[in-house]
Amino acid sequence: MARAETIELSFEEAAQRPERGLWSDAFRRLRRNRLALAGLFVVGAILILAVLANMVDTVQRYDPAFDQDYSRIHQGPTVDHFFGTDSLGRDNWARVLQGTLISLQVGLGVQAMVLIIGLTVGGAAALGGRLADNIMMRFTDLAYAFPDLLAIILLRSVFADRDLPMMAHDTSQLLLVIFAIGFVAWVTVARLVRGQMLSLKERDFVLAARAMGAPPWRIVVQHMLPNALGPVIVAVVFGIPLAIFAEAVLAFIGIGLPPPTASLGRLISEGYSYIQVNIWVVTFPAVVLALLMLSFTFLGDGLRDALDPRTR
Amino acid sequence: MRRLLWMIPLLWAVATITFFLMHAVPGGPFDQEKKLPPQVLANLNAKYNLDKPLLEQYVLYLWDLAPLKADFPPVKTPDLGVSFRTNQPVQDRIEVGFKVTAQLGVVAFLYALVIGMSLGVIAALNQNRMGDYLGVFFATIGTALPSFIIATFLVVIFSVKLGWFTVLGWGGPPALPWDAPFWDPGNWHIRQMVLPVISLGTLPAAYIARITRASLLEVLGQDYIRTARSKGLTEWVVILRHTVKNALVPVLTVIGPIFAFLVTGSFIVEQIFSIPGVGRAFVRAVFDRDYGMIMGTVLFYAVIVAVANLVVDVLYAAVDPRIRYG
């Protein structure tokens, strides 16, 4: 009897401690990681600035494509033009912000697509039986043998002059770029999800849930998915800079978004043509792109440390 | 061996996908600003089998590609066909490009190895001191920033501002670098080489530095290092003979992926610096709708990646006897 009391007591004690789940715990650890916090801060600042510029004229200051002033081409940074002007006298501040927004859209869009396809295909491979698994693994083998960038460039060229139905030219081209990159990028996440699901499937708590009569979809959604999500989130965050980079490469070789839309890659590519004339055109987009990629990488590093229970 | 055979269906699948993808790209190889006379166009299409149905073209291409029609054993090298643009054999053009890519790759590899390993060793020996932080800083920046960005900063600083190196270009106009003896420094065009090599080699260098540091730290904590020290060996002998040798095993295993990265990664660097390698040939081919060249370059890259993956697995198995492949 006395024994039962002590146990009850310790339960009560345990209940009095503030409850810390995986996510709040991970967040606490993320906050302690200064580099990751800095990354989060920089990404947030750039994102807010880019979104604001897209909506508010006082932030954007000039139209990125059509405010052309031929009397002031190739200027360095001035009070009027924070980042200088390009070969047509367009304001680089506005163009860089527009490009940043597009890069972020591509990065996040690709990863959204990767997440959806990766979770579905990876989960299907792990839970759908041998045949599904075999098909999926052969497919990933193939995707690994196919050099990523070559595949992206080929896919992008296929859709270069075509538009999706019922959509403005710009939107549909943006979606097609996202599609081309995402179609190549999902394989890693799918493999990851498959591995996670396969190992989770054999764990005791899944067996317990099944023994209690939980329907299969409930086991998958409630018990397995949250446990598989940590590494997937890390992979997705690391994937964002890769997608941004892939878009920049596409734009650099000239099959990104059609002009006059500026993406960071196009700005750098244009800047290269005038690099002997005016280094600022290439410098600012390159700095922003570098900041974005570094920040996302630091954030990914921090998340990996925070979500990995082994480091606890 | 089974994995070697597995490469064949894999390459076939890559060839198939590429074939149909590139035919889905709008436009054909002979589209020009000025329309060709219809008869000329018809003749050209007939010459390159483009007048036949797509499936027949596909079969014809594979038939040429596969080493089947040669004598047994099939030792004939696959026939990649001719470039639709210049009518040269694709093989020759890839060979010309690859010499440049290989030169870039080899030098970048050496750079990565030397810089990466020395930084890793320095970092490990000065753990939690200045040298370590510098090494880790380099490794972080190097892995996070792509060659594309590094190249941009390098060019702005060293070519435009300081004027030390050329902005772009590779080799002299008279002959490609490989035609002249490789070992003669006069043929090296150092001023054009430095920036591409650094842009390409920094990521592998950072990677190697990370691995070297980690494995060196692990080895330094082992008992036999303490034994060697207590025997009274000088610090240099301990580090060079006992530590570094053992710490290099993990580094060996990443050489495969690094090699694959250098070949496929050079693709971007070639674009930036206008280096006439395989990567540029591929991009040109996509823009020209040069079907023969597209197929050739993609297959070439696929073979490189596949071989690199194979080498990795073999190396892993060789280094760690616990891993076995059937």
Minimum distance, in Å, between the CA of residue A166 and any CA atom of chain B: 21
Question: Average pLDDT for residues B118-122, to the nearest whole number?
Answer: 81
Residue A289: strand, helix, or coil: helix
If one counts every other C-beta atom within 10 angstroms of the C-beta of residue B79, the result is 17
Is residue A136 a contact partner of residue A208, using CB atoms and an 8 Å limit?
Answer: no
On chain A, the residues whose CB falls within 8 A of the CB of B29 are none
Does residue A135 or residue A25 have the better pLDDT? A135
Please give the pLDDT value at position B62: 66
- B71 falls in which pLDDT band (50, 70, 90)? very low
Where helices occur in chain B by DSSP H, the ranges are 2-24, 38-47, 54-65, 90-125, 130-144, 147-154, 190-220, 223-230, 235-237, 245-253, 255-273, 278-288, 291-319
Is residue A93 a contact partner of residue A61, using CB atoms and an 8 Å limit?
Answer: yes
Q: Which of A55-59, A243-247, B42-46, B165-169 holds the top average pLDDT?
A: A243-247
Whether A157 sits inside 8 A of B10 (CB atoms) is: no
Contacts A–B by Cβ distance under 8 A: 110
Please give the pLDDT value at position B72: 44
* Mean pLDDT of the residues in chain B: 70
What are the b/e assignments for A25-48, b being 16+ CB within 10 Å? ebeebbeebeebeebbebbeebee
pLDDT digits (tens, 9 = 90+) for A59-90: 666 666 666 666 666 666 666 666 666 666 67
pLDDT digits (tens, 9 = 90+) for B252-277: 767 777 777 777 777 778 877 777 77
On chain A, the residues whose CB falls within 8 A of the CB of B160 are 275-276, 279
* Residue of B2, B3, B149 to mutate when probing chain A, most A C-beta within 10 A: B149
- B76 falls in which pLDDT band (50, 70, 90)? very low
* Residue of A42, A134, A140, A142 to mutate when probing chain B, most B C-beta within 10 A: A142
Tell whether A161 lies on the interface with B, counting CB pairs under 8 A.
yes
If one counts every other C-beta atom within 10 angstroms of the C-beta of residue A99, the result is 29
Please give the pLDDT value at position B74: 44
Tell whether A34 lies on the interface with B, counting CB pairs under 8 A.
no
Whole-prediction pTM: 0.76
On chain A, the residues whose CB falls within 8 A of the CB of B167 are 275-276
Please give the pLDDT value at position A187: 82
* Residue of B3, B12, B148 to mutate when probing chain A, most A C-beta within 10 A: B148
On chain B, the residues whose CB falls within 8 A of the CB of A248 are 148
Please give the pLDDT value at position B260: 73
Least confident stretch, A142-156, A199-213, B46-60:
B46-60
B21 has pLDDT over 60: yes
pLDDT digits (tens, 9 = 90+) for A202-217: 778 878 887 887 787 7
B206 has pLDDT over 80: yes
* Mean pLDDT of the residues in chain A: 75
pLDDT digits (tens, 9 = 90+) for A155-204: 777 776 666 666 666 777 788 888 888 888 888 888 888 888 888 877 78
Whether A150 sits inside 8 A of B167 (CB atoms) is: no
**Is the Cα torsion angle B97, B199, A256, A94 positive or negative in sign?**
negative
pLDDT digits (tens, 9 = 90+) for B164-182: 666 665 554 434 445 555 5
The one-letter amino acid at A104:
L
Whether A286 sits inside 8 A of B161 (CB atoms) is: no
Is residue B312 a contact partner of residue B306, using CB atoms and an 8 Å limit?
Answer: no
Is residue B259 a contact partner of residue B203, using CB atoms and an 8 Å limit?
Answer: no
On chain B, the residues whose CB falls within 8 A of the CB of A298 are 144
Q: Across chain A, which distance is largest between two alpha carbons, in Å?
A: 92
pLDDT digits (tens, 9 = 90+) for A122-134: 888 877 778 878 8
- B31 falls in which pLDDT band (50, 70, 90)? low
B32 has pLDDT over 50: yes
On chain B, the residues whose CB falls within 8 A of the CB of A280 are none
A7 has pLDDT over 60: no
Whether A149 sits inside 8 A of B11 (CB atoms) is: no
Q: C-alpha angle with apex B152: B148 to B156, nearest 5 degrees?
A: 170
Minimum distance, in Å, between the CA of residue B258 and any CA atom of chain A: 14
ipTM, interface predicted TM-score of the complex: 0.70
Least confident stretch, A1-10, A93-102, B261-270:
A1-10
B146 has pLDDT over 80: no
Strand partners, A91: A85
φ, ψ of residue B36 in degrees (nearest 5): -75, 150
